[in-house]
């Protein structure tokens, strides 16, 4: 089974594309999408991830306590973290994978972070903020609901217990429709997860699968679609591999696994 998955992943990576050869001389800088951390994190020094922005040469990462009011002016007065990273430092200069940094700073309690992408001195709009919380939890990470579903107590999202609910892999458009038509455990509001939702299940310290130890999911080594379209090429969407935790781009016409989620 692992051999087949390895071949599938190799094939997937084979059709992943970069953003193009345009040098962006007269380009307008777009908006990043915050991906991680999301929900409750297990370390006060989390890794921050976001989608790359075409032509961006640098990114500004800002983390702020949610108990603090945002200042009217763009200052660092209430920021826990306020750092700049080049696209190379964030590991996303090629624009075909997530940007990722781990600042040397602790964030305790409830916080939010956002990203500003810039091409030299020209900047786009701030990303929508992503909330996360570093709090000791008394509850177990997952609750097996005994009806074919699992609740993630960190994010309050409900997933199908079977990570490969559909026998056949599907293209992106069919995956969206399959989730919308799904009835499971009496619920009819299933959907294809956003990239930050599926990424929240990933434990990068693990492999085969790259999920938290002791998780109750079945058939959990998959290459899974997310509903998050690549902003600069709508023929592509973000894909999360629960095999090794990689987040990459996939062409929507190709077939990948479908793992439904719903807001609990």
Which range, of 33-42, 67-76, 97-106, averages the lowest pLDDT?
A: 67-76
Q: pLDDT tens digits for 233-259?
A: 999 999 999 999 999 999 999 999 999
| CATH ID of 140-263, from 1.10.287, 3.40.1350, 3.10.100, 3.10.20 | 3.10.100
Q: Are the CB atoms for 240 and 247 separated by under 8 Å? A: yes
Model pLDDT, residue 231: 87
Which range, of 67-76, 92-101, 116-125, 159-168, averages the lowest pLDDT?
A: 67-76
Model pLDDT, residue 135: 82
Radius of gyration of the chain (CA): 19
Sign of the Cα torsion 69, 73, 77, 83 reads positive
Instruction: Taking residues 54-81, report their average pLDDT.
Output: 78
Is pLDDT at 65 greater than 60 in this prediction?
A: yes
Model pLDDT, residue 190: 98
Q: Where are the domains of the chain?
A: 34-134, 140-263
Residues paired with residue 229 on neighbouring β-strands, in sequence order: 237
| Backbone φ and ψ of 34, nearest 5° | -70, 140
Task: Provide the mean pLDDT of the chain.
Answer: 88
Model pLDDT, residue 69: 57
Confidence of residue 109 (pLDDT cuts 50, 70, 90): very high
CA 161 to each of CA 19, 21, 55, 67, 187: distance values in angstroms, whole numbers, following the listed order: 35, 42, 40, 35, 14
Model pLDDT, residue 77: 62
Q: Please, how many CA atoms are within 13 Å of residue 157, restricted to the half-sphere of its CB? A: 23
Q: pLDDT tens digits for 136-149?
A: 766 789 999 999 99
**CATH 2.70.50.50 at 34-134, yes or no:** yes
Is pLDDT at 10 greater than 80 in this prediction?
A: no
Is pLDDT at 201 greater than 90 in this prediction?
A: yes
pTM (two decimals): 0.84
Instruction: Taking residues 30-37, report their average pLDDT.
Output: 95
Contacts of 33 (CB under 8 A, 6+ apart): 50, 51, 127, 128, 195, 196, 228, 231
Model pLDDT, residue 11: 44
Instruction: Taking residues 61-83, report their average pLDDT.
Output: 74
Taking the C-alpha atoms of residue 261 and residue 72, their distance in angstroms, rounded to an integer, is 37
């Amino acid at each position: 089974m692992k051999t087949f998955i390895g071949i599938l992943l190799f094939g997937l990576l084979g059709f992943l594309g970069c953003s193009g050869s345009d040098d962006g001389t007269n380009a307008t800088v777009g908006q990043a999408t915050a991906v991680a951390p999301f929900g409750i994190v297990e370390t006060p020094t989390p890794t921050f991830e976001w989608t790359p922005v075409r032509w961006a040469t640098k990114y500004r990462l800002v983390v702020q306590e949610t108990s603090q009011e945002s200042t009217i002016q763009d200052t660092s007065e209430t920021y826990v973290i306020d750092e700049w990273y080049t696209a190379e430092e964030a590991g996303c200069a090629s624009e075909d994978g997530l940007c990722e940094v781990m600042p040397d700073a602790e964030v305790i309690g409830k916080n939010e972070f956002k990203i500003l992408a810039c091409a030299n001195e020209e900047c786009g709009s701030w990303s929508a903020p992503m909330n996360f919380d570093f709090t000791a939890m008394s509850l177990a990470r997952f609750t097996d609901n005994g009806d074919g579903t699992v609740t993630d107590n960190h994010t309050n999202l409900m997933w199908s217990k079977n990570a490969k609910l559909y026998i056949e892999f599907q293209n992106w458009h069919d995956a969206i429709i399959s989730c919308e038509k799904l009835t499971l455990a009496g619920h009819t509001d299933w959907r294809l997860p956003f990239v930050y939702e599926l990424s929240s299940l990933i434990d990068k310290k693990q492999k085969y699968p790259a999920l938290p130890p002791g998780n109750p999911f079945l058939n959990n080594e998959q290459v899974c679609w997310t509903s998050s379209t690549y902003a600069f090429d709508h023929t592509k969407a973000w894909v999360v591999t629960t095999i090794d935790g990689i987040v990459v781009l996939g062409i929507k016409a190709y077939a990948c696994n479908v793992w439904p989620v719903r807001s609990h």
